[in-house]
Amino acid sequence: MKKIYSVIIAFISLSTNLFAQDKLSEANEAYSNNEYAKAIELYESVLKDEGKSATVYYNLGNAYYKEKKYAPAILNYERALSISPNNEDARYNLEMARTHIVDKVNAVKPFFLTSWVNSVRNGMSSNGWAYLGVGCFIGFIICLFLYFFTRIVWIKKVGFFTGIFLIFVCIVSNIFSSDLKQKMLAHDQAIIFAPTITIKSTPSAEGMDMFVLHEGTKVSVISTLSGWGEIEVDGNRGWIPLDKMEII
């Protein structure tokens, strides 16, 4: 009986995957035929059924961009980059989409060493760094074996110095993997989805008007309270209704 259940579950799983692939192929075909509204609907459906995918987010962003809907395009490019930070096409298209929005936020340029480290970190996904870390740790164990269980001096030296290098790469890989994973799960950034929104001093419509933001602007979400979110952008803070922005 257990075998029968296993076969049924496997069949259902296979059928679901095939259906999702068919829907994705249909979405790609619609995009190729310039049917962008249809492609958007299908890509959204694939994400709903299959969960997060950097490729689908990227394609969805492109479809929204073609429809001149720049806020959702920016949102989906950002989501693609949160999963695959080395996706240069998504990064380029994101910058192109940002040229169409009103607010020009002056991002603080990081120290050159920080920028270099971030560039290296973004060279692979969180899973990629995790796999590299595991591989380096296995290599480190092998090097330990060579160092302690061989009597040939040059092999002991190779094992010792290679082991030091591998454990260093292992530690860095795990730090990068953890950092990227935390960024992907943080949900502390959002895109404004209202054409124009006045930011309030308190989480209330009666609060003092602080400043105005426009559709497509990226903000940091500091906290939430009773349907409002405290946001920060370009050094300025204030409150906005949660339904006026979409979390990345």
Domain range annotation of the chain:
2-98, 112-186, 189-247
Instruction: State percent of the chain over pLDDT 90.
Output: 71
CATH of 189-247, one of 3.90.25.10, 3.10.20.740, 2.30.40.10, 2.30.30.40: 2.30.30.40
Which one is the CATH code of 2-98: 3.40.630.30, 3.40.50.11540, 1.10.150.20, 1.25.40.10? 1.25.40.10
> Is this prediction's pTM over 0.85?
no
Nearest Cα neighbor of 167 from 134, 129, 121 is 134
- Directed axis angle between helix 36-50 and helix 54-66, to 10°? 160
The string of pLDDT tens digits covering residues 89-145 is 999 999 999 999 988 776 666 677 888 888 888 888 889 999 999 999 999 999 999
Residue 142, phi then psi, degrees to nearest 5: -65, -40
Count CB atoms within 10 A of the CB of residue 243: 11
> 236 — phi, psi (to 5°)?
-110, 140
pLDDT reported for residue 162:
96
Structure tokens at 247: 């979390």
Query: In this model, does residue 21 exceed pLDDT 90?
Result: no
DSSP letter (8 states) at residue 236:
E
